[in-house]
């Protein structure tokens, strides 16, 4: 009832699809699509020099006419997603082929959908000196590192 009223008021209600806050599911197929590393894709770190700047990437969105350039076939369009909340599939006993854990290197290489989604934030953290390519996946001093990310920046 309140929502129906607010929709009619300018700038009072934002209506988004489920995909904006919960893209995918916890099912094995979606976990595989999110975490599988596509090693056939060149690593984003291939030409990186220690002390250098990580490349900035502009991802094409499905809203644009031509999305065939700049995004591999397996890569998901994250332009409509505000928040990505993901647990590693080992939590429920599913093994994603070639995936062990989320680490700084895994994210900065940009070879999975998860990595491509959170890369802009990881790049900024690296730029600020808060994230190193070879940081342990366990985080600073063994504390759990959470990758809860607002993917729109």
pLDDT at 134 over 70: yes
Mean local confidence (pLDDT), 12-29: 78
CB 23 within 8 A of CB 102: no
Is residue 28 a part of any domain in this protein? yes
Is residue 7 a part of any domain in this protein? no
Q: Which residues pair with 26 in a beta bridge?
A: none
Half-sphere exposure of 56 (CA within 13 A, CB side): 3
Is residue 36 a part of any domain in this protein? yes
Residue with tokens 């929502």: 3
pTM over 0.85: no
Is residue 1 a part of any domain in this protein? no
pLDDT at 64: 56
* Percent of all residues in the chain with a pLDDT value above 70, rounded to a whole number: 77
Is residue 102 a part of any domain in this protein? yes
pLDDT at 136: 76
Is residue 143 a part of any domain in this protein? yes
Higher pLDDT, 147 or 118: 118
Range of the domain at 128: 17-153
Is residue 8 a part of any domain in this protein? no
Q: State the CB neighbour count (10 A cutoff) for residue 22.
A: 13
Into how many domains does the chain fold? 1
Radius of gyration of the chain (CA): 17
pLDDT at 38: 95
Half-sphere exposure of 101 (CA within 13 A, CB side): 10
pLDDT at 32 over 60: yes
Tens of pLDDT, residue by residue over 91-127, are 888 899 888 888 999 999 999 999 999 999 999 999 9
């Amino acid at each position: 009832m309140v929502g129906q009223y607010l929709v009619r008021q300018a700038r009072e209600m934002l209506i988004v699809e489920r995909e904006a806050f919960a893209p995918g599911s916890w099912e094995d197929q979606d976990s595989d699509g999110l975490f599988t590393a596509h090693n056939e894709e060149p690593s984003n770190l291939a030409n990186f020099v220690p002390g250098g700047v990580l490349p900035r990437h502009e991802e094409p969105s499905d809203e644009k006419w031509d999305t065939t350039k700049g995004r591999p076939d397996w890569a998901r369009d994250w332009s409509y997603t505000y928040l990505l909340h993901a647990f590693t599939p080992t939590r429920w006993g599913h093994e994603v082929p070639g995936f062990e854990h989320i680490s700084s290197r895994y994210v900065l290489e940009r070879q999975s959908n998860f990595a491509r989604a959170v890369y802009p934030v990881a790049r900024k953290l690296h730029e600020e000196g808060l994230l190193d390519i070879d940081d342990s996946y366990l985080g600073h001093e063994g504390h759990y590192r959470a990758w809860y990310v607002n993917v729109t920046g």
